[in-house]
Amino acid sequence: MPKDELKLYRGEDFIISDHIHIHQPTLNEICDYGEADYYAMIYQLTATPQSMKAQLWDAGIDYTKITPFELFYSILYKLFPMEKTSILFGSLDLSKFQVMQKQEDGTVLLFQAIDNCPVIIDEFTYEVITDYLRQVHMIPKDDRLPANNSTKMILIEDAKEELRQNADREYHSQLKNLISSMINREGFKYNHSQVWDMKINAFMDSVKRISKIRNADLLLQSGYSGFGVNLKDIPNKQLDWFGELS
């Protein structure tokens, strides 16, 4: 399914099938839902075995031996009843799907009947859903595999240590400082009352875009001053603030 970057930026609902629609929430909707719970859900929905390596290892599962879809249909989808996911999926209840296999080739899929219509999440549909959620929230996909077993064990121990360090850490809003910075920054066109109606992707895009513009302006000012950087040494993508956001 081809992605439409302009529609994603505009923030309209993403229709995958008759019964699978993804709503892109506003900052106001995320705040009312609860930011900590919202992002916990997003990170779990888009999790890969690599991003859960420590938890899987403690459960006796080698994260390098399963795929993201296997992780989803084995564990993750059961965690999301409708009251948790309605902000994204409306009346669709992920927890009511059942794991099934196609008789002809043994392919695994999730199935439920809604209004006498079969609703299926196969691996392709799963990838469409999670890729869209990552794009909306600008979350990179962790799909890196270790070069050898020693590296794998080091990465697992590092992940366990990170979990231990974060276990008792109080949650602090990641959006509050961004919103505060943006509404007080030159070039951002929304005030405190208006910003809450922004879709999450448009807001995160603004955070990165204004930073990109500011960085390009500083480099150009430095280069043209005659006493700063040599613009010939600066990649064009750093000077082109119309370009793609990294």
Domain boundary among 136, 167, 198: 167
Domain boundary among 167, 187, 209: 167
Token pair belonging to 135: 């794009």
**Average per-residue pLDDT in the chain?**
89
Residue 220 has pLDDT above 80, yes or no: no
Nearest to 112 by CA among 139, 141, 138, 89: 89
| Domain annotation covers residue 246 | no
> Which range is least confidently modeled, 7-21, 90-104, 131-145, 219-233?
219-233
Average pLDDT over residues 150-169: 91
- 155 and 90 belong to one structural domain: yes
Coil, helix or strand for 120? strand
| Domain annotation covers residue 245 | no
pTM of the predicted model as reported, rounded to 2 decimal places: 0.88
pLDDT at 242: 63
Cβ atoms 201, 136 nearer than 8 A: yes
Structural domain boundaries, residue 195: 175-239
Token pair belonging to 149: 């077993």
- 149 and 214 belong to one structural domain: no
Domain boundary among 130, 150, 167: 167
Average pLDDT over residues 169-196: 92
- 133 and 37 belong to one structural domain: yes
pLDDT at 123: 96
Average pLDDT over residues 110-125: 95
Compute the distance between CA of residue 151 and CA of residue 159 in angstroms, rounded to an integer: 12
